[in-house]
Structure 1
Amino acid sequence: MQYCEMSKEELLKLKEELDETYKEAQSKGLSLNMSRGKPSATQLNITMDMLDTINSSSDMKSEDGTDCRNYGVLDGIPEAKKLMADIMGTTPEHVIIYGNASLNIMYDQVSRAYTHGLLGNTPWCKLDKVKFLCPVPGYDRHFAITEHFGIEMINIPMSENGPDMDMIEKYVNNDESVKGIWCVPKYSNPQGYTYSDETVKRFAALKPAAKDFRIFWDNAYVIHHLYEDKQDEILDIISECEKAGNPDMVFEFASTSKVSFPGSGMAALASSEANVADIKKQLTIQTIGHDKINQLRHVRYFKNLEGVKAHMMKHAAQMRPKFEATLKVLKEELTGLGIGTWSEPRGGYFISFDAMEGCAKAIVAKCKDAGVVLTNAGATFPYGKDPKDSNIRIAPSFPTPEEMELASDIFVLCVKIVSIEKILETK
């Protein structure tokens, strides 16, 4: 029976029982964290032998003869560009290899647009108004970048096929102050949705009022499948934009942060020939080149795309039980109660939970008091403000499967208690 159909007396009795269970949970003194999408130690251990790939007796030259110990090679050694291009589904001439973090590249791209402009266009800092579209719920670190630069952010609702393209087309095609949009197109953060072919094609066919409008295509989870036999696929946005006559409209980002080591991975940007040339002009001032030894290490370890895919199935074997443990508890405890819905992703790092309106902050706080730390309620929206106070991001990656089941038990307990309290306000 749905909670909203229960009488006040039934709800009060149920709440009394749940409160007792909650006190028992509090008394255990738990400390479980599912607030960020961090790989677990067991996942990091998968790649430890990468550190043996290069040693003091190794040939330190790339395939074009470059000595990777020295200065130079602004955009990455050829074999690293090929590997990252294959991962992203594009070609090496579109790619620049950076350091370990794609977030750093995204910040740089917004910063360059803000201070110096893109392809000769007016720097955003000289404009009266700059706006960014933000599919929600979305990635809090994206929103933090645009907020840092004082850029106005506009919520765009998400569906299983991607963001609301009618709304995006209306904004982009008619408002010159709209300069960009954040996208996590495959296994989105936090819902785990993958943009449909139609959505990707509509993105590529946009007719922006602003010449310097850019799609910030953060393909962070492009190879992060949970199942070998159930994998989402997505069109290559670079080639789709080229076909649509909009080659300069997209910046695509990816990294090996959750493939090898998050603190020592390899990140890349892919874009048009004109954008790459424009970026390299500024990179010559910013750096003499990124870590080529790390690039060489990654290529020699993974060898090719097939090597990366095989490696990612090892990660999937670690991640899958945690997702399944969480979803099992959600289904068994909350199905049919009318107090929450959740995504069931086939890849990525998160599960998105939507509580009753006005309940997310209270649920997160109650979980914390019982020793379970979640991402702050509202974090999946610009400015940390969820207009419905309902979305909660669950990150199952860091705890063990057993810890995730325990944390999920406490989570659903808190959902039940807070939901009853909300319903009783109207009884």
Structure 2
Amino acid sequence: MPLQLHSLTDRELEVELARCRAEYDTVKARGLALDITRGKPAPEQLDLSAAMLVLPGDGDYVIDGIDCRNYGELAGLPSLRALFGEVLEIAPKSLIAGGTSSLETMYDVLSFAWIHGTGGTGAPWSAAPVKFLCPVPGYDRHFAITESFGIELVPVPLLSDGPDINAIRNLVASDPQIKGIWCVPVYSNPSGVTYSEQVTRDLLGMETAAPDFRIFWDNAYAVHALAGDAPESFDILGTATHVGNPDRPFVFASTSKMTIAGGGVSFFAGSDANIAWYLNHLSRKRVGQDKVNQLRHVRFFRDADGVRAHMRKHQRILAPKFELVTSTLRRELGNSGIASWTEPTGGYFVNLEVLPGTATRVVGLAKDVGIALTPAGSAFPSGNDPRDSHIRLAPSLPSEQELRLAIDGLCICIRLAATELVHNDRHAGVHRSPASV
């Protein structure tokens, strides 16, 4: 049973601090070189798509009456749009199959809005100050894209069923500078939260001071379940139309964590007006998509059931790693009062909360023993976690043996950082509640 630090006497606390330091020194002497910084697929996951590297093969590059080696078809292959339209519950006419990076598509969409506005009579977003809402903890690359335009990021809490809709309503109703919100609706990065239908409906239907307010709906983990089946896709576009805001959602997805990371296919979806707007501006920067890569994906997956079967193979590789992480945290830190964590059912991350004021110290301690973690606070705009308590764990890339060493070492770092803090507080006469984590 992990010790309750706040219940220890001064002498017991000194003994515990010495023990933690000795354990830490033992880990440091091992000379580890472990990396759990980002949600990269493991080599075994990438091997699942090795057959794609010899597709399409046989000199047959024609599908849908299209020679995939030639220019054209800016909207992507109809067969691929139909296939993933079924997966994502989006009509093929509303879905664009693009290049290899959904982040690039998001950057393009924001760039188009920044330079040209979102269509109709709306002014370019660059014409006046712009703010974006960011559910936190959230995805650091979303924040980086927005910040690169000089856009002010406004954090809103991410709750168990999605972002705090009451806080969002109050903000968007009165501030016309708020033009958008970043959302990862299924197995959110990094918390693993899936938005409820009610929260989604509220986001689509709420009154906003900015008439060109947009939801950047990054459905990156739509089929990435760790147990059982992923939730059915919500009809985001149909519901937006039903509530009278058809142009509000910009929808993104990709196959990058399904097939070959950095070599998949990205998708953009939206209303008829948004699709026309996007293709109009996209046509200025490219003549067509990489349709040979798209053809590989069609022939590899074949149909929506092929996608689901493929993701079950990923699940069999990933699920034991996530169980290893959460079971180790339970064993080493459960009921300690110094850490809490999510036990996600999908996605690529475990959301770890340590004693406020210790996350930066934990990451530094881990680095010094050869365990690379995502920087503390990275799941907050500008890396500023006001509590200094959040750490994102990415279990996917290491082998199970490497992951076991990394999480065992991390637990020692967490105990040492917490014991140091409580020890220093005790000597400074500061009282800190053990429930504050």
Shorter-chain TM-score: which interval? Answer: over 0.9
- What is the distance in 1 between the residues matched to 2:99 and 2:11? 60
Tell me which amino acid in the other structure corresponds to 1:419: A
Structure 1 residue 290: Cα displacement: 1.0
- What is the distance in 2 between the residues matched to 1:176 and 1:68? 44
- What is the distance in 1 between the residues matched to 2:30 and 2:200? 48
Structure 1 residue 248: Cα displacement: 0.1
- What is the distance in 2 between the residues matched to 1:173 and 1:92? 33
Q: Which residue of 1 aligns with 2:26?
A: 24
TM-score of the superposition, structure 1-length normalised? 0.97
- What is the distance in 2 between the residues matched to 1:421 and 1:239? 54
Mapped pair 1:223 → 2:248? no
- What is the distance in 1 between the residues matched to 2:148 and 2:223? 30
- What is the distance in 2 between the residues matched to 1:130 and 1:305? 39
Contact 1:197 1:234 in 2 (8 A): no
Q: Which residue of 2 aligns with 1:179?
A: 179
Contact 2:88 2:233 in 1 (8 A): no
- What is the distance in 1 between the residues matched to 2:206 and 2:116? 24
Q: Which residue of 2 aligns with 1:309?
A: 308
Mapped pair 1:274 → 2:273? yes
Q: Write the mapping of 1:348-427 to structure 2, written as runs, cut at 5 A.
A: 348-427=347-426
- What is the distance in 1 between the residues matched to 2:233 and 2:368? 41
| Residue 39 of structure 1, aligned match among 41, 45, 52 | 41
Tell me which amino acid in the other structure corresponds to 2:274: N
- What is the distance in 2 between the residues matched to 1:98 and 1:178? 28
Counterpart secondary structure, 1:84: helix
Counterpart secondary structure, 1:286: coil
Structure 1 residue 91: Cα displacement: 1.0
Identity of aligned residues (%): 44
Q: Write the mapping of 1:13-412 to structure 2, written as runs, cut at 5 A.
A: 13-55=15-57, 57-63=58-64, 65-120=65-120, 121-127=122-128, 129-228=129-228, 231-412=230-411
Counterpart secondary structure, 2:324: helix
The Cα offsets for residues 377-412 of structure 1, whole Å up to 9 and x where unpaired, read as 111000111111100000000001121111100111
Query: Unaligned regions of 5+ residues in structure 2, if any?
Result: 427-437
Structure 1 residue 237: Cα displacement: 1.6
Contact 2:89 2:233 in 1 (8 A): no
Tell me which amino acid in the other structure corresponds to 2:225: H
CA-based RMSD: 1.1
Counterpart secondary structure, 2:63: coil
Structure 1 residue 173: Cα displacement: 2.2
Contact 1:100 1:267 in 2 (8 A): yes
Query: Unaligned regions of 5+ residues in structure 1, if any?
Result: none
Aligned residue pairs, count? 423
When structure 1 is superposed on structure 2, of 375-384 and 6-15 the one drifting more is 6-15
Q: Which residue of 1 aligns with 2:13?
A: 11
- What is the distance in 2 between the residues matched to 1:402 and 1:62? 44
Structure 1 residue 288: Cα displacement: 0.3
Tell me which amino acid in the other structure corresponds to 1:10: E
- What is the distance in 2 between the residues matched to 1:286 and 1:163? 35
Counterpart secondary structure, 2:320: helix
Contact 2:218 2:252 in 1 (8 A): yes
Structure 1 residue 8: Cα displacement: 2.2
Q: Which runs of 4+ in 1 moved over 3 A?
A: 231-234
Structure 1 residue 97: Cα displacement: 1.3
- What is the distance in 1 between the residues matched to 2:247 and 2:173? 16
- What is the distance in 2 between the residues matched to 1:232 and 1:77? 26
Structure 1 residue 236: Cα displacement: 2.4
- What is the distance in 1 between the residues matched to 2:262 and 2:190? 22
Structure 1 residue 263: Cα displacement: 1.7
Counterpart secondary structure, 1:341: strand
Contact 1:226 1:320 in 2 (8 A): yes
Contact 1:194 1:234 in 2 (8 A): no
The Cα offsets for residues 269-290 of structure 1, whole Å up to 9 and x where unpaired, read as 0100001001111111111011
- What is the distance in 2 between the residues matched to 1:143 and 1:34? 21
Tell me which amino acid in the other structure corresponds to 1:356: L
Contact 1:232 1:346 in 2 (8 A): no
TM-score of the superposition, structure 2-length normalised? 0.95
Structure 1 residue 423: Cα displacement: 1.1
Counterpart secondary structure, 1:253: strand
- What is the distance in 2 between the residues matched to 1:282 and 1:67? 24
